[in-house]
Amino acid sequence: MINSIFLLLLFSIFSNGETTNLSYSIIQKEKVVGYTNAYKYQEIDQTTYRSNSVSTVKAIISIDIVSNYEITLENGLLRSAEANVLVRNRPYTHSYTYYCENQCEMAKDGANVIYIGEDISYASTMLLFEEPVNITQSYSELDGSFHSIRKVGNHRYEKKDANDRINTYQYVNGILQYAEIDAGLISFELKLNH
- Percent of the chain having pLDDT more than 90? 76
| Predicted local distance difference test score (pLDDT) of residue 60 | 83
Average pLDDT of span 38-43: 95
Tell me the pTM. Answer: 0.87
Q: Output DSSP code: residue 9.
A: H
6 pLDDT band, cuts 50/70/90, is very low
Q: Residues 106-140: pLDDT tens digits?
A: 999 878 788 998 899 999 999 999 999 999 999 99
Checking 151-157 for CB contacts under 8 A at 24+ apart, the result is 155/131, 157/131, 157/132
